[in-house]
Structure 1
């Protein structure tokens, strides 16, 4: 055990800032207060501009889709959002499940080291990500003298978010900081797209759909023309009526699918053949595959866009034209740079300025295929495959009626279910995310899935806490299971 890597780096892990667990279990009201304070601190970071950065020139983190997932706010202390935490968590989970780190997750000491190591990796990622953003011009033009100061601000904001997540997750708050920050980020985006009274440059109607409908209706009543009102139906680059309807419809569909389960009958022989139904969610792999998909597409798009603007700025190379081509188009009376509709770059956009039927088809197919591929990879790497599930069931003393109580037999039986659920969940996540891009869903399609999942999670936690407060002995019993 002494030769393990995590044991050798333990002295370094002690230097990682952390939040201690509460000495006694806090009441529901106290946890709600700490949750509110953590949320307030994050909101303060998300509205505090970075010194030395022109907020108007700052671009979203990679693209608006990734910005929503990472709860990032452009040009603020929350520019990196929870990105470093999510990336570090994924890396550490893969290392742990693949036994590369040789960690016993049932050992409290190993759990503490694992969590500390995850935070250390998150801080390292924040250092690197902040430097890359500045070097790539993601925050606009920054003078060399201010670059170091901006970099320190990005890292400082990321460390505060890491500690806030640590505080909420260790029992001071409710749920996890990651879920909390994603939830408030998506809700704020949806609320802003629905009710914002701000009129964007070059527009005559407010940004929010509800104020835009009110102004459009007033113009229609005064000028007896429906031009302004009809323009709200679908606005490229801005919230629209189609986006609002799609948000409600897809949100209801995602909620319905999230609550769907496939139950497999099980028997516990040692207690007289007690029967239960072992549930598997239809959204078996949740949103992780589509997060990987969006991240992959965003990285490829940024690379090709750099290639187009740097080496093919005049669209003179025929080969590059088919891969990465940009041109000037008129949008709302202003010239702007956009990918050529005939190039691969065009189909990798999240929200195109020129919507074509080809984009709709290719975008949906691309997201669906990548999401399914990542779903299968994640299931096999993260300990969610048939063998892993069968091992858990067999060790618990359960078996499938009519089959031998063997891990191999149970795995063979579960294989068809898990493979089908992996395909279904990956496909649903990919299609919903792509439709969100095409139809202008508020908060993006991925954000909508996350919103529904987190709301269900917090609802379950609230019901559980209420039950534990009514029956304290039940909490003690659950803690021993």
Structure 2
């Protein structure tokens, strides 16, 4: 039995959610999606029993909290991290042909899903044990470490089941997207309207409560334009608010730009159509990889401090290049004045790695010209005036795909860096994820609503 077969077998024996027998109505899907979000938010608000050092260990993990929809020191400490990590690893293994699976076949697709679930459970066990040890290391109590580990295993597996419930048709879209959107929205809402600071999550008092308080008490509100305080480095300011609105509009605009490639089909001769390639071809994948890589360096640096001080120092120096601004420096445009060299290093590292990861993702995720050309030929599509050969179509697509991959990776990297420099609410990576997910849900809601209004379409498309 191979490793993938072992994971698939493990996934089959784990508790699972069954698919609905009949297609649920839109109202039912919205209800179950709402319930899943409420359960996730409740878990993200319940502290882990026995944990007192979460803040000291994970003080700079805001980027990972955004990507993994996690919350420090709570039952949602791991969030969707194990699910995303297992999914990315399995996709890379399949895309790079390291494991032979044809996801077009129903049998291989089911095996892939079960293996992905099994791998996610392995990550849940490992990460829960790791965090259970780290959170209770000062107490030196094995029983307390076991209690924290069990809490994390149960809570994270519940999150996995919520994601599985939504993906199997009970809800809309995927639980991963829904939880990320909920997490980013919560942080943005708190940055604007939070009435109290939550120190262990780096959540300050919101901009508008501070503004109202300063006006009522007669204080100078000019200090709210740009945060220059080292005592409240995470305090939102006016520049960050305006930048947040501007970047959301920019991302929506870029997301709706498509490059149209003219094609015809063999079944409908004479009828021409187009295949759209999104201008942000690799979406926000590059900045996700860069952020996760930096967060992993931080994690390893923290763990290495208990094993080897020199190794911890090296890892910390590397991790610092992935994050800006440094500790106790205002998270605003003022940080550029305080640490311009650190800002330049951060920008170069983040943008260059975004481009590298974006190009690599095209090849390993099946977005490369060769794979796309083969899919077009198998679907009976052809480019007018060109021979219906995969090699010919691949040459045409290569003119579009690789430049799109490069420029889209560059653009999302620059947006994330600028967002960090301007102190946007919810971080640049968070805004990129939230806006793209919100657009996907808007299109999904429109699709579901159309099917309910015109039931005949269900038969036509096989729903």
> Shared fold (TM-score greater than 0.5)?
yes
Which has the larger displacement, 61-70 or 161-170? 61-70
User: What's the CA shift for 1:240?
Assistant: 1.9
Q: Deviations over 1:134-157 (max 9, x none)?
A: 344599756332001101111111
Deviates more, 1:250-259 or 1:209-218: 209-218
How far is 1:307 from its partner?
6.7
Of the three residues 238, 243, 259, the one matched with 2:240 is 243
CA pair 185-58 structure 1, distance change in 2 beyond 3 A? farther
Alpha-carbon distance in structure 2 between the residues aligned to 1:152 and 1:387: 46
User: Residue deviations 1:11-48, cap 9 Å, x none?
Assistant: 54431211000011111111111111111211221111
Q: How far is the alpha carbon of 1:425 from its aligned partner?
A: 1.4
Change (3 A) 1:160 1:61: farther
The residue number in structure 1 matching 2:453 is: 470
Q: 1:402 to 1:107 in 2, by over 3 A?
A: closer
Runs of 5+ unmatched residues, structure 1: 314-318, 326-342
Greater relative contact order (Cα 8 A, min sep 6): structure 1 or 2?
Answer: 2
**Deviation, structure 1 residue 69:** 0.9
Aligned counterparts of 1:248 and 1:158: Cα–Cα separation in 2: 33
Which residue does the alignment assign to 1:85?
83
Are 2:128 and 2:153, in contact at CA under 8 Å, matched by a contact in 1?
yes
- Which residues in structure 2 correspond to 1:322-333 (within 5 Å)? none
CA contact (8 A) 2:51 2:135 kept: no
Offset of residue 247 of structure 1: 0.9
Is 1:26–2:29 an aligned residue pair?
Answer: no
Aligned length: 447
Distance 1:344 1:28 in 2: 48
Q: How far does residue 6 in structure 1 lie from its aligned partner after superposition?
A: 4.8
In structure 1, the partner of 2:210 is: 212
Residues 239-290 of structure 1, C-alpha deviations (whole Å, 9 max, x = no match):
2222211111111111111111111111224422211111000111111121
TM alignment of 1:45-64, pairs within 5 A: 45-54=43-52, 57=55, 59-60=57-58, 63-64=61-62
Secondary structure in 2 aligned to 1:181? helix
- 2:325 aligned partner: 351
Q: What SS does structure 2 have at the residue aligned with 1:47?
A: coil
C-alpha distance in 1 between matches for 2:444 and 2:208: 33
Q: Which residue is equivalent to 2:373?
A: 390
Between the aligned partners of 2:294 and 2:349, the Cα distance in structure 1 is: 9
Q: Distance in 2 between matches of 1:308 and 1:145?
A: 23
CA–CA distance in 2 between the matches of 1:124 and 1:100?
Answer: 20
CA contact (8 A) 2:258 2:278 kept: yes
1:38 aligns with: 36
Residue aligning to 1:296: 293
The yes-or-no answer on 1:253 pairing with 2:274 is no
Q: What TM-score results when the alignment is normalised by the length of structure 2?
A: 0.89
User: Separation in 2 of the partners of 1:47 and 1:9?
Assistant: 32
Q: 1:285 aligns with which of 282, 285, 292?
A: 282
Q: Which of 160, 166, 169 is the matching residue for 1:168?
A: 166
* Structure 1 vs Structure 2 CA RMSD: 2.8
Within 2, Cα distance between the matches of 1:138 and 1:243? 37
Q: For 2:223, which of 230, 233, 240 is the aligned residue?
A: 230
Given that 1:75 and 1:139 are in contact with CA atoms closer than 8 Å, whether structure 2 keeps it comes out as no
Alpha carbons 1:216, 1:229 under 8 Å: kept: no
Aligned equivalents of 1:8, 1:150: Cα separation in 2: 28
Structure 1 residues 311 and 98 mapped into 2: Cα distance closer, same or farther (>3 Å)?
closer
Would you say the 8 A contact 1:368–1:427 is kept in 2? yes
Note closer, same or farther for the CA distance 1:157–1:409 as it changes in structure 2 (3 Å cut): same
8 Å Cα contact 2:163/2:175 also seen in 1: yes
Partner of 1:119: 117
Structure 2 match to 1:156? 154
The 1:267–1:170 alpha-carbon spacing in structure 2 relative to 1, beyond 3 Å, is same
CA contact (8 A) 1:213 1:232 kept: no
1:434-474 deviations in Å (ceiling 9; x for gaps):
22222221111111011111111111011101110111111
Partner of 2:106: 108
8 Å contact from structure 1 (residues 261, 279) kept in 2: yes
Q: Given the superposition, is the C-alpha separation of residues 84 and 10 from structure 1 closer, same or farther in structure 2, using an over 3 Å criterion? A: closer
1:356-386 C-alpha deviation (Å, 9 max, x unpaired):
2222222122111001100111110111101
Cα pair 1:293 1:371 within 8 Å, conserved: yes
Could you list the runs of 5+ residues in structure 2 that have no partner in the other structure? 330-334
Paired position in structure 1 for 2:428: 445
User: Which residue of structure 2 aligns with residue 414 of structure 1?
Assistant: 397
Q: TM-score w.r.t. structure 1 length?
A: 0.85
Query: Does the residue aligned with 2:462 lie in a helix, a strand or coil?
Result: helix
Residues 80 and 22 (structure 1), Cα distance of their counterparts in 2 relative to 1, 3 Å cut: same
Match of 1:265 in 2: 262
Deviates more, 1:283-292 or 1:58-67: 58-67
Q: In structure 1, the residue corresponding to 2:44 is in which secondary structure?
A: helix
- Counterpart for residue 344 of structure 2: 361
CA shift in 2, pair 1:320/1:471, >3 Å: closer
Q: Does 1:377 align with 2:360?
A: yes
